[in-house]
Amino acid sequence: MTDESALPEDRRRGRLDPRLLELLICPLTRTTLTYDAEKQELVSRAARLAYPIRDGIPIMLPSEAREIE
């Protein structure tokens, strides 16, 4: 278990670093992702998948992604 006080403030508040978002792409389609702060997901519209963000870390595995409509 992670000690919350040891995490950077952005991660404690559930925010994703905008610089990181600029670098990440969908591993299946190689297209840009949209950040959904409310659901804590990175959305690939091309792949119709939403990748979860857990403790401020994007989980970019298709097997962990949620299908979207």
pLDDT in tens, 17-31: 889 889 999 999 999
Domain hosting 57: range is 18-67
pLDDT digits (tens, 9 = 90+) for 4-63: 455 455 444 567 888 988 999 999 999 999 999 999 999 999 999 999 999 989 999 999
Domain CATH for 33: 2.20.25.10
Quick one: which of 56, 58, 35 has its CA closest to 45? Answer: 35
Q: b/e string for 28-63 if b means 16 or more Cβ within 10 A?
A: eeeeebebeeeebbbbbeebebbbbbeebebebeee
Q: Above 60 in pLDDT, residue 2?
A: no
47, part of any domain: yes
pLDDT for the residue numbered 31: 97
Q: Above 90 in pLDDT, residue 66?
A: yes
Structural domain count of the chain: 1
13, part of any domain: no
10, part of any domain: no
